[in-house]
Amino acid sequence: MLDSVATIQARAGAWLTRLEWTFTVLFTIEYLVRLASVRRPLKYALSFFGVIDLLAINPTYLSLVIAGAQSLLVIRVLRLLRVFRVFKLVYYLSEARVITTAMQASRAKITVFLTLVMSIAVVMGALLYLIEGEASRLTSIPRGMYWAVVTMTTVGYGDIAPDTVLGQIAAGVLMVLGYAIIAVPTGIVSAELVQAAAHQPVSTQACPSCSAEGHNGDAVCCNYCGERLFPDAPA
């Protein structure tokens, strides 16, 4: 991020480059050690944190052959998620698990909701295109859909606005409908959060096979690969 600021890059560009390579080498060593320490390296490499680890080191090496690839280093921000693993913050891991569970449980409802929103955007976009035409810069139905989404979400950029009375009435209806639509996903996720919050706590024990975390508090085997979390414990 600092390297993208011209004044900072001009004064400290060389130091930033050294730091970049230092972190890249450290991250590379850590990634290789993790692959060597787990029993299923491929399982870890394809896991969420495994992919993040790989993406964190690739941009620096790519910058040697592709100009500008170093700007992708911003993806290292995602590695801050590892602070939850390093310090074993059980409380935060548990809360993250609650949110994940709630989102997964509400996936079908959210899908139906988004389908409804897209249907409304298509219908209202096409309607305004027929009402206004190209006079209001609505040169196509996709442009009308863009206007519908902007209006429905109450963003209101103002680059496209209806000029006719009928078009303004349609816009007003869509604006009021937008307020009602915004409340729907909030209610869906909130209800699922209440249900997920009652679930059992999350363990910070990392799987010795695939390095995954986030297992149930009383789990004996990994939720992802099935290996025993405590190999030395009696069966």
**How is the chain split into domains, by residue range?**
2-87, 107-197
Range among 136-140, 144-148, 189-193 with highest mean pLDDT value: 144-148
- Give the pair of three-digit tokens for residue 163: 């000029």
Predicted local distance difference test score (pLDDT) of residue 91: 56
Per-residue pLDDT tens for 62-75? 777 777 666 666 66
Predicted local distance difference test score (pLDDT) of residue 121: 92
Nearest CA-CA partner of 50 in 228, 224, 232, 229? 224
Predicted local distance difference test score (pLDDT) of residue 59: 77
Please give the helix or strand (H or E) that residue 215 lies within, else none: strand 215-216
Predicted local distance difference test score (pLDDT) of residue 54: 83
Using pLDDT thresholds of 50, 70 and 90, give the confidence band for residue 127: very high
Predicted local distance difference test score (pLDDT) of residue 201: 61
The CATH fold assigned to 107-197 is Helix Hairpins (1.10.287)
Q: Answer yes or no: pTM beyond 0.75.
A: no
Using pLDDT thresholds of 50, 70 and 90, give the confidence band for residue 123: very high
Query: How many residues comprise the chain?
Result: 235
Decide: 202 and 109 in contact? Cβ < 8 Å: no
Distance CA 219, CA 125 (A): 51
